[in-house]
Structure 1
Amino acid sequence: MLIPLIFLSLGQGALSLPQPNAQAAPFQKFQVEPRASSVDWNAPRTDHGGFLAKRSGLHSEEFFNNPPRSILDVEPSSSFQAAALEEESSNSSSSKRATSGRWENLSGTAIGHPCPVSWGGQRMDLYQMGKDKRCQHKSRDSWTATSKWGAWEDMAGSFDAPPAACSRKQDNTHLFGKGTDGQCWHRSYSSGTWGAWQSMGGAVAHYPAACSWGKDHAAVYVSSTDGQCWHRRYDETPKAAGWNSWENIGGYLDGPPKAVTWGQDHTSIVCKGQDGQAWHKPYGISSTSKAWGEWENLGGSLDGPPAACAWNGRMDIFAKGTDGACWHKTLKNTTVTTLPKWGSWENMGGKLKEGTPPDVVAVDGGKKMEVYITGDDSAMFRKVWDSTTDKWTDSWEAMGGSVDSKPTAVTWDNGKVDVFGTGADGSIKRCFT
């Protein structure tokens, strides 16, 4: 059964492109300078026992890998496996209001944003948390005229937040999620086979972040119920492979962390603090420092978690400000053992939909950056940075579409970019150019 893709038709004047230089109302002003925090982010916290404490009411692995549908009280996932894979026609309302961007309806019953990941080449994997709280997955291996996406695959589990995923190498994926019991859960794919869901423990408050800096490393980052950031890493050596214990890296988070890497032995964590400011904590800020640095106050007035990308010693972060605009800050050319000075916050304009932070990807080794937002009219927009000019496109480019979630972008096949969102009906929408 085909599930039609429906977009609301907008009358003339209903769509207003985000204005790059739009000014915020005084009571919503974005505060660019760091403010003094009421707590010391770098002082050791002694109140983190709850994250590792034994609790009652936790799911068993047997339950999590095959949760009874009578408990979840939903129809089997096969009810949406007949996906509507039709590309939108040129007469659709989304196409009429788009200056670029083509759209594909991948169906689904998602709650929250989708999670795309690519391990390289033409392979693409897409994950969602369905309305039945189970994880769903579909993939595609080639993009010929006759190839198609596979059907949605039921991955079981019992979640209350969207999943996160990363890939260490070809034919490998690490999948993470926040269970309805508050624990972090993990499932791995290797050489054509999925393992079972495994409990990683913890007391998690938001959806996790996943990151890999190389073929022998993967890591998951979470915000605990008391606002601290916790980290667990997987290392593979010639002698052994496995997960280390949870490591507490402190902080006072208000929302999920974001983890990015520019290469071997480096990770940066960015987040929104409970004071509304952006905060940053690096691991391996230089080739001689394989340790966590201190939390750094980046200022700002954030309305949601930040997005980030990194390559070759550079990192860029993006956030929805309390004024509704997209804001941007850059760390360039890190070659010293101490944290360098960041650039100033840059107002990129835009008018983001409530509850939808931006997303960004670095393309082709940092030759380009593409940042995406969901506008307040539910259409998607983007800006592109070009390394040859070190400049952003002047205005937001209308990509069309109609989504209720934040955008989630992925790079694949040496420079291609796809971006996904969840429609009001729960179906996953794919935008490509």
Structure 2
Amino acid sequence: MKVLPLLCLVPLSITGSHARPSQHGPKPSFLTPRTIHRDWNAPRSDDGGFLAPRANPISPQAFNARRSLEYRHDLYNTEEASTLDKRAKSGQWENLNGSMASYPSPVSWGGNRMDLYYMGTDNTCQHKYQEGGNWGSWEDLGGSLDGPPSTCSWGKGKMDVYVKGQDGGCWHKGYEEEKNGWGDWQDMGGDLKYEPTSCSRDKYYMDVYASGHDGQCWHRKYDDKDNGWGEWESLGGYLDSPPKAVTWGSDHMSVVCKGDDGGAWHRKWSDNGGWGDWEDLGGSVDGAPSACAWNGRVNVYVKGDDGACWHREYKDDKWGNWQNMGGELKYPPDVVAYDDKMEVYITAPDEAIYRRIWENDKWSPDWEYMGGSVASKPNPIAWDNGKVDVYGMGTDGGCKRCYG
């Protein structure tokens, strides 16, 4: 296995009245060679784990059960969504209320439609949407969740939600506007250690990825042109985080994760070559990596064990070196790419959101203070021709939105 070369670049400075999060100098720990060495590309069997019948499965009837509408409205819609004071020159905050036990997951199928999902304090999946600027009330989608939902859209009027159930299985619920809206929750099987992730590379395909208790990365594909859902496929590996799946188009997918050796790992699929090998990206990672894919590039962002934000880019069929972007992170970062731009968001120890922007082939020099009072990783999304929203779980347990 070829180990890719690593290099620490000089971090950029932070200036301005909100000169937080603080900069980190490059600490040796992030780039120090690791002591655990495994062959990620050696064949592995299921060992009767991921695909075995679960010990205490939840029945589809129980997973689809809902409590009373009156109870739901009182719990999640205590007041109308309100706009908070403007906290930064580039955006303002809006309180969307709710009673959250996970960070929110946004998705847009295009135009001025935005949908939000999260796991409530009662472990149900909650949904809210706006179309043209007016948010509806929170809608109870039921379920019995054990982690944040993953969402993707595979065309106008189509979106799907994937969750880890409290029985450890992967559950799925689909929405199709032309087929009377929501279907039932469907048990997809598996034995998940963390929440699943999903992506759609064009209007015919959805792909779901999960980390099993066996440490392997598992994949399942939906093909709308062929036979619907395929079987679970093992991609091997030794994961210590949920996988993150990204795509730049119908001919590509990339999966990134944290390995049990503490480093970042990557595996790529192409339509003409299938799955490549796992690649060791190195580093010493705290939490799950984030990534985006655009114009033939893959950009990976992590929280290092030194607390700083680190970045590595795949471009022109090769990986560059790790770049220390500084900052002081409370949770892993997240990123969104659009129109040849990237925006990276972090939550600092002061519970405010900060961002840096890649534009015109260079980074903004400083972390920009966005304000807020957030108790989760930020979750950004680009939508409606260049708009960027950022969502997070507030310190009061409500859903917060920052928009420009």
Task: Calculate the TM-score normalised by the size of structure 1.
Answer: 0.85
Indicate conservation of the 8 Å contact 2:18/2:369, yes or no: no
Separation of aligned partners in 2, 1:272 and 1:134: 28
Indicate conservation of the 8 Å contact 2:54/2:167, yes or no: no
Indicate conservation of the 8 Å contact 1:83/1:106, yes or no: no
Q: Which residues of 2 match residues 82-101 of structure 1 at below 5 A?
A: 82-90=78-86, 95=87, 98-101=88-91
In structure 1, runs of 5+ residues without a counterpart are: 1-12, 335-339
Separation of aligned partners in 2, 1:185 and 1:248: 18
| CA-CA distance at 1:37 after TM superposition | 4.3
Structure 2 vs 1, CA of residues 180 and 103 (structure 1 numbering), >3 Å: closer, same or farther?
Answer: same
Aligned match of 1:363: 338
Secondary structure of 1:206's counterpart equals: coil
| CA-CA distance at 1:160 after TM superposition | 1.2
The one-character-per-residue Cα deviations of 1:279-330 (angstroms, maximum 9, x if unpaired) are 000001xx632x1110000001100000000112111000000000000000
Aligned match of 1:329: 312
- CA RMSD between the two structures: 2.0
Secondary structure of 2:75's counterpart equals: helix
Separation of aligned partners in 1, 2:99 and 2:17: 28
Indicate conservation of the 8 Å contact 1:302/1:319, yes or no: yes
Structure 2 vs 1, CA of residues 14 and 65 (structure 1 numbering), >3 Å: closer, same or farther?
Answer: farther
Structure 2 vs 1, CA of residues 362 and 194 (structure 1 numbering), >3 Å: closer, same or farther?
Answer: same
In structure 2, runs of 5+ residues without a counterpart are: 1-15
Indicate conservation of the 8 Å contact 2:107/2:114, yes or no: yes
Aligned match of 2:327: 350
Aligned match of 2:132: 142
Aligned match of 1:160: 146
| CA-CA distance at 1:153 after TM superposition | 0.1
- Number of paired residues? 386
Separation of aligned partners in 2, 1:333 and 1:14: 39
Aligned match of 1:80: 76
1:104 maps to 2:103: no
Q: Which residues of 2 match residues 51-70 of structure 1 at below 5 A?
A: 51-66=50-65
Indicate conservation of the 8 Å contact 1:283/1:293, yes or no: yes
Separation of aligned partners in 2, 1:25 and 1:282: 29
Query: Once structures 1 and 2 are overlaid, which stretch shifts more, 181-190 or 45-54?
Result: 45-54
The one-character-per-residue Cα deviations of 1:98-134 (angstroms, maximum 9, x if unpaired) are 4532100000111121100001111000001000000
Indicate which of 330, 348, 352 corresponds to 1:379: 352
Separation of aligned partners in 2, 1:67 and 1:303: 36
Indicate conservation of the 8 Å contact 2:191/2:212, yes or no: yes
The one-character-per-residue Cα deviations of 1:362-384 (angstroms, maximum 9, x if unpaired) are 012xx100000001100000000
Aligned match of 1:295: 278
| CA-CA distance at 1:77 after TM superposition | 4.8
Q: Which residues of 2 match residues 11-410 of structure 1 at below 5 A?
A: 16-20=19-23, 22-23=24-25, 29-31=29-31, 35=34, 37-66=36-65, 76-90=72-86, 95=87, 98-143=88-133, 148-191=134-177, 192-237=180-225, 240-284=226-270, 288-289=272-273, 291-334=274-317, 340=318, 342-353=319-330, 356-364=331-339, 367-386=340-359, 388=360, 390-410=361-381
Separation of aligned partners in 2, 1:17 and 1:420: 20
Aligned match of 1:412: 383
Separation of aligned partners in 2, 1:256 and 1:48: 20
Structure 2 vs 1, CA of residues 117 and 59 (structure 1 numbering), >3 Å: closer, same or farther?
Answer: same
Indicate conservation of the 8 Å contact 2:54/2:191, yes or no: no
Query: Once structures 1 and 2 are overlaid, which stretch shifts more, 81-90 or 208-217?
Result: 81-90
Indicate conservation of the 8 Å contact 1:140/1:149, yes or no: yes
| CA-CA distance at 1:24 after TM superposition | 5.2
Name the structure with the higher strand share. 2
| CA-CA distance at 1:207 after TM superposition | 1.1
Indicate conservation of the 8 Å contact 1:99/1:400, yes or no: no
Structure 2 vs 1, CA of residues 25 and 295 (structure 1 numbering), >3 Å: closer, same or farther?
Answer: closer
1:427 maps to 2:401: no
